[in-house]
Structure 1
């Protein structure tokens, strides 16, 4: 995505007032290596803005309009994105561990090589959202839909995936190890590229209609203490 930026601000600790003033010009700005830690940016309109190598630890962006924004190599542990508008955003190489995205709009957003360990993505709007090479360990994604999506290098280890829709999804180098899969649907899914370690056999009915490998079948049976010859 190539946004036309009004101004590039580099290596600066910014205040809400300064960002608000920049936003009034109507064109997006690019922030490079800026410090936004613990800053309250809730409710601002930052459509199309660029955030490159910025620090956003514990920043508050609740209800912030960030449609078509571009994020690269940012660090924002425990940042609050509750109810924010991230439609068509591009988020690459960012660390938003334990971030709160509850109720955010991620429609048509692209998330690549990110760390979302422990993040809360409950009630997120995710139509046509693309995730690739992303760490979701211990994250919360209840009722999330990955239907008909090709999942590449996603790590859901110990994640809360309750009631998720994985129908006709294809897993490539993914992990579902020890994830909470209660109520998930995998009809028509190709799970041969997923680590199913820790999946109990009483969950196996959820995989009805899915494709698994012989090794994975043996792994599921081993959960019952059976020796597969």
Structure 2
């Protein structure tokens, strides 16, 4: 085990203590530009942490609590995040390409320029999330709940939206159903109608 990993584990232990003692002992986790692929994260809580520009690609983080954390610019490419909790987290500029995010919770999360391309978000909870310039190209949003979520300049080319819930209560400002190079922008009610048709699988 190299020094770097040992050092990270010391920080993870300290963060666990910080959470268990409600800040009385230990220290809140703050890491930047760390490749975590060789670290066994299963014993450690990752909620309420600052984990920026870190690499989680291909990792198994099923049902992991990563809520109320700052995760900007980190990558979770092809990671297994089924049932993970990103509630109230800032996942702006995060790359979730090809990740399994089934039944995960992204409620109240901030997703600015977040990449969900080819990710599986079936049954995900996106309630009250902010999705600004988020990329959902070829993603699966089967039965996802978008109540009170805000969609602005969201890329939805090739996205599977069957059974998506809460469209009536979502704030649909604008969506791009074309490509980044050749955008086809739908605004407001037109965008909502398009989403409703897609949720019912009406072409």
**TM-score of the superposition, structure 2-length normalised?**
0.74
Q: 1:109-168 deviations in whole A, cap 9, x for unaligned? A: 111111110111112222222211100011111112334544201111111100123226
Equivalent-residue separation in structure 1 for 2:109 and 2:49 (angstroms):
14
The 3 A distance-change label for structure 1 pair 115 and 77 is: same
Deviation at 1:41, TM superposition (A): 2.2
Say if 2:21 is the partner of 1:22. Answer: no
Shift of 1:177: 5.1
The structure with the larger Rg is: 1
Distance 1:156 1:109 in 2: 19
Matched, 1:203 2:202: yes
Query: 1 CA distance for matches of 2:83 and 2:127?
Result: 16
The aligned residue for residue 174 of structure 1 is: 175
Gaps of 5+ in 2: 19-26, 180-187
- 1:58-137 map, 5 Å: 58-137=58-137
Cα pair distance change 1:117/1:156, threshold 3 Å: same
Aligned to 1:56: 56
Instruction: Please give the residue correspondences for 1:149-160 in structure 2 after superposition, counting only pairs within 5 Å.
Output: 149-160=149-160
Q: What do the CA deviations read for 1:178-208 (whole angstroms, capped 9, x no partner)? A: 9xxxxxxxxxx61269999xx8xx936xxxx
**How many residues matched?**
179
Q: Is the 2:16–2:44 contact (alpha carbons within 8 Å) kept by the matching residues of 1? A: no
Q: Report which of the two has the higher share of helix.
A: 2
Q: In the superposition, relative to structure 1, how do residues 147 and 83 fare at CA in structure 2: closer, same or farther (>3 Å)? A: closer
Root mean square deviation of aligned Cα: 3.0
The 8 Å contact of residues 152 and 173 in structure 1, kept in 2 or not, is answered as: yes
Whole-angstrom CA distance in 2 between matches of 1:39 and 1:194? 45
